[in-house]
């Protein structure tokens, strides 16, 4: 049996893929942004079983283009304005290429010293750029959902003596636990609470003010009520850049409450935290300096291909206390002198994600990243100004960063139908949310390829399709 692929054939295919990627990056808008396939189309086009005999890469790649590509929704498309628009970047893609080739697992320092130490270095760079003090130690996970789960596991470790050994079930001496977040916090907090065995009821969503920020007075009232009822407050999750509107919770006031009440404070800055790199936004994470943990997602708004999420924690020893466990076969002679990244998480094997962060930071430089973030914010403000100046549309939330929430001054059904038509155009992809029970469209800017022309075109389409919808549709207007 020969190698996996003849080296010369591999070289040829590697060049072909590199060319394909370069062409794709040069014009990601050659494809419709939102895939037009119907459920089951892709599955139906593929054989139900794996081939018995190996096939040529030619045949495989041709099916990639013919069958797989049409089923791709193009997150790199400049008209991608849905959710949090994220984008890969050329240096990030090249890093992923290398990382796949190296197939490194940085579970132990020994299993790849460079992967471990590059993670330390690149996370120290990023920490300095966003202005968190060096009392925060960093570690990379895949997603913010997992990062928040690790942070809240550490919080549980503090709140429940002996939880690692004795668990929660059947311990009559334990009180019920509570985690608090705003009504606008991400659903990853719910999932973490569920997974930690606290029960979904342990999450209390705190009322927000008219600008969608957690109300500190309501938080205090909830904590007081819980203490009176014999419930132990375990953690508060404050959000810097909420998912629907990108509102920023008053972290300073919340941190003061947590310090007074001795409650773990986790700051979810998954989307907006990177904005702290811009001088005018430096204040964003200033109060997070006294939090216990902070999550930041370079795969959201830092041009790092999915996935890469960072936990910065002032109490990483507590994370280690929750997770470190070394079976005999993983013991090494240098363990006391080095960091073994398996100690700070549930995963043993872990991808070499630091490589792409390092390459992205070096390629763009701090100044290059700041300029791109600032441009996205400018474009969002421009779009918001167009909405504000129009009689047909209204804005439904402030625009602190690069997301604009708005709606046609019509019914919810009309706005939902408008969204369907926009997304069927193939030119743009927007998503929606509900604010105060009102259906709201969201335009999120975060893609490297998005320029003023694309935002202008989106606004033109939105107005044109809304006008058409008013004339032709049976959907109730106002």
Ligand X SMILES: Cc1ncc(COP(=O)(O)O)c(C=O)c1O
Q: Can you give the binding site for ligand X, defined by CB under 6 A?
A: 84, 143-145, 186, 188, 239, 241-243, 268, 270-271, 297, 309
Alpha helix stretches (DSSP H) within 46-161: 57-63, 90-102, 113-130, 144-159
Is residue 284 within 8 Å of residue 273, measured between CB atoms? yes
CB of 148 to ligand X, least distance (A): 7
Question: Phi and psi (nearest 5°) for 62?
Answer: -65, -35
- Which residue, 111 or 402, is less far from ligand X as judged by CB? 402
- Which residue, 109 or 271, is less far from ligand X as judged by CB? 271
CB of 288 to ligand X, least distance (A): 14
Is residue 5 within 8 Å of residue 55, measured between CB atoms? no
**In the block, which residue shows the tokens 């006008």?**
467
Question: What 3-state class would DSSP assign to 293?
Answer: strand
CB of 188 to ligand X, least distance (A): 5
Distant-in-sequence, close-in-space partners of 327: CB < 8 Å, separation ≥ 6: none
Exposure string for 291-304, b = 16+ CB within 10 A, e = fewer: bbbbbbbbbbbbbb
CB of 147 to ligand X, least distance (A): 8
Is residue 263 within 8 Å of residue 298, measured between CB atoms? no
- Which residue, 307 or 413, is less far from ligand X as judged by CB? 307
- Which residue, 243 or 450, is less far from ligand X as judged by CB? 243
CB of 306 to ligand X, least distance (A): 8
**Range 41-48 contact pairs with CB under 8 angstroms and sequence separation of 24 or more:** 41/70, 41/71, 42/67, 42/68, 42/71
Is residue 268 within 8 Å of residue 235, measured between CB atoms? no
Is residue 244 within 8 Å of residue 256, measured between CB atoms? no
Q: How far is the C-alpha of 463 from the C-alpha of 455, rounded, in Å?
A: 13
Q: How far is the C-alpha of 431 from the C-alpha of 429, rounded, in Å?
A: 7
- Which residue, 249 or 410, is less far from ligand X as judged by CB? 249
- Which residue, 146 or 159, is less far from ligand X as judged by CB? 146
- Which residue, 116 or 145, is less far from ligand X as judged by CB? 145
CB of 27 to ligand X, least distance (A): 27
CB of 275 to ligand X, least distance (A): 13
CB of 433 to ligand X, least distance (A): 11
- Which residue, 163 or 302, is less far from ligand X as judged by CB? 302
Residue 40: CB atoms within 10 A of its CB come to: 8
Strands 438-444 and 403-408 come out as antiparallel
Among the listed residues 270, 278, 272, 274, the one whose alpha carbon sits nearest the alpha carbon of residue 294 = 270
- Which residue, 266 or 407, is less far from ligand X as judged by CB? 266
CB of 374 to ligand X, least distance (A): 21
CB of 97 to ligand X, least distance (A): 22
Q: Could you tell me how many residues make up the chain? A: 478
Among the listed residues 18, 2, 17, 102, the one whose alpha carbon sits nearest the alpha carbon of residue 54 = 2
Ordered strands of the 431-435 beta sheet: 393-395, 403-408, 438-444, 431-435
CB of 444 to ligand X, least distance (A): 10
- Which residue, 111 or 188, is less far from ligand X as judged by CB? 188
- Which residue, 219 or 295, is less far from ligand X as judged by CB? 295
């Amino acid at each position: 049996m020969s190698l996996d692929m003849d080296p010369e054939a591999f070289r040829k295919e590697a060049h072909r893929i590199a060319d394909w990627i370069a062409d794709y990056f040069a014009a990601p808008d050659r494809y419709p942004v939102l895939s037009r396939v119907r459920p089951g189309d892709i599955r139906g086009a593929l054989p139900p079983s794996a081939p018995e005999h190996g096939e040529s890469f030619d045949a495989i790649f041709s099916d990639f283009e013919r069958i797989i590509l049409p089923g791709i929704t193009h997150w790199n498309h400049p008209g991608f304005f849905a959710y949090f628009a994220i984008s890969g970047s050329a240096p990030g893609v090249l890093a992923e290429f290398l990382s796949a080739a190296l197939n490194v697992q940085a579970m132990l320092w020994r299993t790849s010293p460079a992967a471990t130490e590059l993670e330390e270095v690149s996370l120290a760079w990023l920490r300095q750029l966003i202005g968190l003090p060096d009392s925060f130690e960093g570690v990379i996970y895949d997603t913010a959902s997992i990062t928040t789960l690790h942070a809240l596991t550490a919080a549980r470790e503090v709140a429940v003596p002996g939880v690692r050994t004795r668990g929660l079930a059947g311990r009559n001496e334990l009180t019920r636990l509570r985690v608090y977040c705003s009504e606008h916090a991400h659903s990853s907090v719910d999932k973490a609470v569920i997974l930690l065995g606290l029960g979904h009821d342990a999450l209390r969503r705190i009322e927000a003010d008219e600008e969608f920020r957690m109300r500190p007075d309501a938080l205090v009232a909830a904590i007081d009520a819980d203490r009176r009822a014999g419930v132990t407050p375990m953690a508060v999750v404050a959000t810097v850049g909420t998912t629907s509107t990108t509102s920023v919770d008053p972290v300073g006031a919340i941190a003061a409450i947590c310090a007074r009440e001795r409650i773990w404070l986790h700051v979810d800055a998954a989307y907006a935290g990177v904005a702290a790199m811009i001088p005018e936004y430096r204040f964003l994470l200033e109060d997070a300096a006294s939090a216990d943990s902070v999550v930041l997602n370079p795969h959201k708004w830092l041009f790092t291909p999915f996935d890469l999420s960072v936990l910065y924690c002032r109490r990483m020893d507590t994370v280690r206390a929750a997770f470190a466990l070394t079976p005999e076969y993983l013991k090494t002679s240098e363990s006391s002198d080095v960091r073994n990244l398996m100690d700070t998480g549930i995963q043993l094997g872990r991808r070499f994600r630091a490589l792409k962060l390092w390459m992205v930071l070096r390629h763009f430089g701090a100044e290059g990243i700041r300029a791109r973030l600032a441009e996205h914010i400018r474009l969002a403000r421009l779009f918001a100004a167009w909405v504000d100046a129009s009689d047909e549309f209204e804005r439904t939330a402030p625009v602190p960063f690069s997301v604009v929430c708005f709606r046609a001054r019509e019914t919810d059904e009309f706005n939902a139908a408008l969204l369907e038509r926009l997304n069927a155009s193939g030119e743009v992809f927007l998503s929606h949310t509900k604010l105060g029970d009102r259906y709201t469209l969201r335009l999120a800017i975060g893609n490297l390829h998005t320029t003023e022309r694309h935002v202008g075109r989106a606004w033109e389409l939105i107005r044109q399709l809304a006008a058409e919808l008013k004339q032709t549709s049976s959907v109730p207007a106002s």
